[in-house]
A and B are shown apart, each in its own frame.
Chain A
Amino acid sequence: MRGKPEVREAESRLRRLPDRPAPGESEAADRAWRVVEAAYSQRPPEAPRRRRAVRLALAAAVVAVGLAAALTPAGAEVGNWIEERLSTDSGTALPAFAGLPEGGEVLAVGDGGAWVVYPDGALQRVGSFSEAGWSPHGLHVVGVRGHRLEAATPTGTVKWTLARPRAVHHPAWSPGNGFRVAYLAGSTLRVVAGDGTDDHLVRRGAAPLTPAWRPGGGYVLTYSGTGGLIETVNADNGRRVWARRAAERPVALAWTRDGKRLVSLSAAGLRVFDRRGRPVLAERLPGAQALALPPGGRRAAVTVAGRGGTRVVAVPLRPGRRPRPLVTGLGRVAGMAWSPDGRRLLVASRDTDQWLLIAPGRRVRPLSGVSGELGAGAGFPRVAGWCCSGS
């Protein structure tokens, strides 16, 4: 085949590819250079060689002490200490963010706006958003800028902007095809189409928490009313699907991916409802604060504040199974998200300035010093989502 004249001609046409510029190439170069230069100027200064040498010497000393410890009867404790030091060192030596696993991008929100964090540690600024969330397939980000709701691409191109007289907050892009965005403006629940048109009021008197879209047919979502009512409504015509009065005011709502279970979290614990709003599970968790459901939806990750700090527990969504702690002794948690494959949980621990990756087997891997990653003055990066768990 390779010897045929058509193939030879095809090959010769392809070989001419390098001789012609692609459309927009040189203009793009100037734009891109400004961005790359800005990223370069934000790099931390190179570590002096002397410090590297000191580090090497320290490592050699630790190994020597380790050998000595292993050869002495009382070496066990020293050995443990060495193991702990070495594991801590290897954890903190990782550049922050560069230790994220492949298979998705994290949406982070700092004081200066929202950023997409890629698995290799690269960053892309999306916009000056105080809150943000992924669209279901990660094609867009919905963000809040004061009284404005904006949809932008992950590279920061604004697709549309909507201004409201009252402060906008708690946006949520619908799953599936993603043709609706729900948000709160003051205490009203509103919905806008995915292209920024057909903005309309759905309910008044909504409590300040993110509405939960129910996956499956139609645009149905659940929100919490200021009086503690949990109501599921059709977002397009406003019809009530079901409503239930909650004993404790919800602090988070989420539907499982299959659309069969609604999980409602309050400061007293977790409650699970079926598609029609009938209770199927109640789990007491005093001090519960935040909720994240993995794509599989068989368990929920819940942060619980207590005397020993905040802990993250995995709560099975079926009766008869007990919650299991995933990590304990944290300070304030600033967001958590499951990886798109549902295998890892990312927890933003503000007080320790870390993102913690919790892998199967409850192995915890810290990404330390994340505050400096979004640039000077950007503050601690909150985790707002991990693309594309909604797809």
Chain B
Amino acid sequence: MKRVRSSAAGVIRDKSVATLPAASGGRGVAARFAAASRLRERRLVREAQRGSAEALEVLFRRHWAGAYRAAWVVMRDAAAAEDVAQEAFISAVRALDRFDRRRPFAPWLHRIVVNRAIDTARSRALRREVHAATAKDAAAEPPPGPLSDELAAALAELGPEHRAVVALRYLLDYTPGEIAALLELPRGTVNSRLRRALDRLAELLREERP
């Protein structure tokens, strides 16, 4: 596992630890930090499996921001993101006894979040059963949140599958190979989705220039 998440401040990446000056330990510090973090997480999972609500809360607080933000990037709707992230945690809780502690917790959770967010975004696009007033509310422009207006506009033009790949790559810091494994997609598909997202965004940025 490559990343550790704090409760509210978002993601503390191992990469940022790896950029420490060589004199203070450099890669060695990063590796030790990551290993310690893995051990802590394994211990938390074990305690949660044994019935410790405190351990579960630490895991929850540690992973909420990533789960919620990923869902938000895919759906661009705070209420829907909350639902999806919450349901993902409930799924994880219900399957906790079957969880293999040797595996990292975050990819397991992120897989649930992203797949569920894609499904929800897809079905929302298809559903037209609400009346005009409700539909208008749902279609209202979401606040930009972590995205600038241009970034939000560019991502909005992509399908949920593309936004999901962007969230996994740039928000949660997975490599294309890890994303391919998480979403059970060919690596080429992941790369092409990433490239398309970047191209679209670059195009918009070019248009903005004088």
Query: In the complex the two chains form, is A25's CB within 8 Å of B90's CB?
Result: no
| Residues of A contacting B126 in the complex (Cβ-Cβ under 8 angstroms) | 137, 391
Q: Which of A25, A136, A138, A195 contacts B69 (CB 8 A)?
A: A25
Q: Is A28 an interface residue (CB 8 A)?
A: yes
**A14-22, A78-86, A285-293, A296-304: which lies at the B interface?**
A14-22
Q: Which of B65, B86, B205 contacts A21 (CB 8 A)?
A: B65
Q: Is A120 an interface residue (CB 8 A)?
A: yes
Q: Is B97 an interface residue (CB 8 A)?
A: yes
Query: In the complex the two chains form, what is the Cα distance from A28 to B78 in whole Å?
Result: 9
Q: Is the interface of B mostly helix, strand, loop or mixed?
A: helix
Q: Which of B8, B11, B94, B201 contacts A18 (CB 8 A)?
A: B11
Q: Is B23 an interface residue (CB 8 A)?
A: no
Query: In the complex the two chains form, is B90's CB within 8 Å of A123's CB?
Result: yes
Query: In the complex the two chains form, what is the Cα distance from A388 to B124 in whole Å?
Result: 13
Query: In the complex the two chains form, what is the Cα distance from A194 to B130 in whole Å?
Result: 7
Query: In the complex the two chains form, what is the Cα distance from A26 to B9 in whole Å?
Result: 10
Query: In the complex the two chains form, is A6's CB within 8 Å of B203's CB?
Result: yes
Query: In the complex the two chains form, is A41's CB within 8 Å of B91's CB?
Result: no
Q: How large is the interface on B (under 10, 10 to 19, 20 to 34, 35 or more residues)?
A: 35 or more
Query: In the complex the two chains form, is A35's CB within 8 Å of B86's CB?
Result: yes
Q: Known: A46-B51, A194-B129. Contact between A21 and B87, CB under 8 A?
A: no
Query: In the complex the two chains form, is A25's CB within 8 Å of B86's CB?
Result: no
Query: In the complex the two chains form, is A20's CB within 8 Å of B206's CB?
Result: no
Q: Is A188 an interface residue (CB 8 A)?
A: no
In the complex, residue of chain B having the shortest beta-carbon distance to the beta carbon of A122: B91
For B74-98 the 0/1 string (1 means CB < 8 A from A) is 0000110111011101110111111
| Residues of B contacting A73 in the complex (Cβ-Cβ under 8 angstroms) | none
Q: Is B143 an interface residue (CB 8 A)?
A: yes
Q: Which of B82, B94, B198 contacts A122 (CB 8 A)?
A: B94
A90 to chain B, nearest CB (A): 14
Query: In the complex the two chains form, is B82's CB within 8 Å of A195's CB?
Result: no
| Residues of A contacting B61 in the complex (Cβ-Cβ under 8 angstroms) | 29, 33
Q: Is B103 an interface residue (CB 8 A)?
A: no
| Residues of B contacting A47 in the complex (Cβ-Cβ under 8 angstroms) | 97
Q: Known: A120-B112, A179-B131. Contact between A11 and B94, CB under 8 A?
A: no
Query: In the complex the two chains form, is A21's CB within 8 Å of B69's CB?
Result: yes
Query: In the complex the two chains form, is B201's CB within 8 Å of A14's CB?
Result: yes
Query: In the complex the two chains form, what is the Cα distance from A35 to B91 in whole Å?
Result: 12
Q: Known: A23-B72, A195-B134. Contact between A13 and B129, CB under 8 A?
A: no
Q: Is A159 an interface residue (CB 8 A)?
A: yes
A27 to chain B, nearest CB (A): 9
Query: In the complex the two chains form, is B64's CB within 8 Å of A121's CB?
Result: no
| Residues of B contacting A195 in the complex (Cβ-Cβ under 8 angstroms) | 130-131, 133-134
Q: Is A56 an interface residue (CB 8 A)?
A: no
Q: Is B50 an interface residue (CB 8 A)?
A: yes
Query: In the complex the two chains form, what is the Cα distance from A2 to B78 in whole Å?
Result: 32
Query: In the complex the two chains form, what is the Cα distance from A9 to B201 in whole Å?
Result: 9
| Residues of B contacting A139 in the complex (Cβ-Cβ under 8 angstroms) | 123-124, 127, 129-130
In the complex, residue of chain B having the shortest beta-carbon distance to the beta carbon of A37: B53
Q: Is A124 an interface residue (CB 8 A)?
A: yes
Query: In the complex the two chains form, is B202's CB within 8 Å of A36's CB?
Result: no
Query: In the complex the two chains form, what is the Cα distance from A17 to B147 in whole Å?
Result: 7
Q: Is B10 an interface residue (CB 8 A)?
A: yes
Query: In the complex the two chains form, is B87's CB within 8 Å of A9's CB?
Result: no
Query: In the complex the two chains form, what is the Cα distance from A124 to B90 in whole Å?
Result: 9
A123 to chain B, nearest CB (A): 7
Q: Known: A1-B195, A6-B202, A179-B131. Contact between A25 and B91, CB under 8 A?
A: no
B207 to chain A, nearest CB (A): 10
Q: Known: A14-B166, A45-B51, A136-B129. Contact between A28 and B93, CB under 8 A?
A: no
Q: Is B56 an interface residue (CB 8 A)?
A: yes
Jot down 23 A-B pairs with beta carbons below 8 A, ordered by A. A6-B201, A7-B199, A13-B151, A18-B170, A20-B10, A22-B78, A23-B78, A23-B142, A29-B60, A31-B86, A32-B64, A32-B82, A36-B86, A41-B53, A46-B50, A46-B97, A95-B94, A121-B95, A124-B87, A138-B123, A155-B83, A157-B79, A195-B134
Task: Sort A-B residue pairs by CB-CB distance and give the 7 closest, nearest first.
Answer: A178-B129, A6-B202, A20-B146, A10-B201, A14-B170, A195-B131, A122-B91
Chain A positions near chain B (C-beta within 8 angstroms): 1-2, 4, 6-7, 9-11, 13-15, 17-26, 28-29, 31-33, 35-37, 39-41, 43, 45-47, 95, 98, 118, 120-124, 135-140, 155, 157, 159, 177-179, 193-195, 388, 391
Q: List 13 other contacts, CB 8 Å, given A15-B170, A22-B72.
A: A1-B202, A17-B146, A18-B10, A23-B72, A23-B142, A29-B68, A33-B64, A37-B53, A39-B94, A40-B93, A118-B91, A122-B90, A194-B131
